[in-house]
């Protein structure tokens, strides 16, 4: 006997959808403004990186949808932006993609990276030792897949490095938001990342199967997560229009 979905299931789906779509904005803006300060102030020992990850988690709870400006002081290491693409694939292949970009902090063999709404930290390279402290804004519920992607759309300085002396770096965001719905299909979400193991663990925890694929041949893999069954996609892109400049 097949059990029909009642009002409780639909209500749960609506709650999940609203929570994800609202949380996307918090993730995108919180990471790039409030969290960056914790990253560059702490340095890059293992213990410090753990504190950075905790600080990023806290920043996600205090994000804003308005224009923001934050000045951080870079005492050691490099803070930079990097090209990263997020794709949504259906049965016919790639149906949507965006250059989401990433903010990356590296020092003394440690790395913290914010991409596609998630934060990973750990040793540099792709040894598999990275962990995810803030998850992406992706959730499946009641025949729907909710996907949120902060896109940097960065301008100004691409990379800032400091050794010893405190160097002020100003981050500004002026976000806009675009929403769209993709029709029912069997969907996969692909995220380009230098910390694929952390993304694979997170996606598998959500009940997906994953593979790695280098879509553009640049040597940076994408983790492709397949969500079971046919679903419609509720997609939200937060264009942050990030500016990164040296100086207070």
List pLDDT tens digits, range 46-63.
Answer: 444 444 444 433 433 334
* pLDDT, position 143: 87
The span from the CA of 169 to the CA of 147, in Å, is: 31
Which tokens is 132 given?
């995810």
pLDDT tens digits along 66-116: 677 767 667 677 888 899 999 999 999 999 999 999 888 787 777 888 888
Q: How confident is the model at residue 14 (pLDDT cuts 50, 70, 90)?
A: very low
Beta pairing partners, 137: 148
pLDDT of 248 strictly over 60: no
Pair 119, 39: CB distance under 8 Å: no
Provide the strand spans (E) within 198-242: 209-213, 222-226, 231-239
Cα distance between residue 102 and residue 83, in whole Å: 6
Query: Of 130, 150, 157, 127, whose CA–CA distance to 63 is shortest?
Result: 150
Task: Express each pLDDT in 167-182 by its tens digit.
Answer: 777 777 777 788 899 9
Q: Is the pTM of this model over 0.85?
A: no
Residue 151 per-residue DSSP state: E
Average pLDDT, the chain: 74
3-state secondary structure of 110: strand
In this predicted structure, what is the pLDDT of residue 141? 81
pLDDT computed for residue 140 by the predictor: 86
End-to-end Cα separation, the chain, in angstroms: 66
Least confident of 30-34, 79-83, 211-215, 240-244: 30-34
| Domain definitions of the chain by residue range | 7-246
């Amino acid at each position: 006997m097949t059990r029909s979905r009642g009002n409780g299931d639909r209500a749960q789906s609506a709650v999940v959808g609203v929570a994800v779509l609202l949380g996307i904005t918090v993730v995108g803006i919180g990471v790039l403004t409030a969290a960056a300060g914790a990253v560059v102030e702490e340095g890059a020992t293992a213990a410090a990186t753990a504190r950075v990850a905790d600080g990023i988690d806290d920043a996600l709870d205090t994000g804003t949808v308005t224009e923001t400006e934050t000045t951080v002081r870079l005492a050691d290491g490099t803070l930079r932006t990097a090209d990263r693409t997020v794709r949504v694939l259906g049965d016919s292949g790639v149906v949507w993609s965006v250059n989401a970009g990433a903010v990356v902090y590296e020092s003394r063999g440690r790395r913290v990276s914010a991409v596609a709404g998630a934060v990973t930290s750990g040793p540099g390279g792709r040894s598999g030792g990275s962990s995810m402290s803030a998850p992406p804004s992706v959730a499946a519920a009641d025949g729907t897949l909710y996907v949120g992607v902060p896109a940097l759309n960065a301008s100004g300085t691409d990379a800032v490095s400091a050794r010893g002396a405190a160097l002020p770096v100003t981050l500004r965001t002026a976000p806009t938001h675009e929403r769209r719905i993709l029709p029912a299909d069997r969907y996969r979400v692909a995220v380009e990342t230098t910390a694929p193991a952390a993304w694979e663990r997170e996606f598998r925890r959500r009940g997906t199967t994953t593979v790695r694929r280098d879509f553009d041949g640049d040597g940076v893999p994408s983790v492709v997560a397949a969500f079971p069954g046919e679903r419609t996609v509720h997609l939200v892109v937060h264009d942050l229009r990030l500016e990164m400049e040296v100086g207070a």
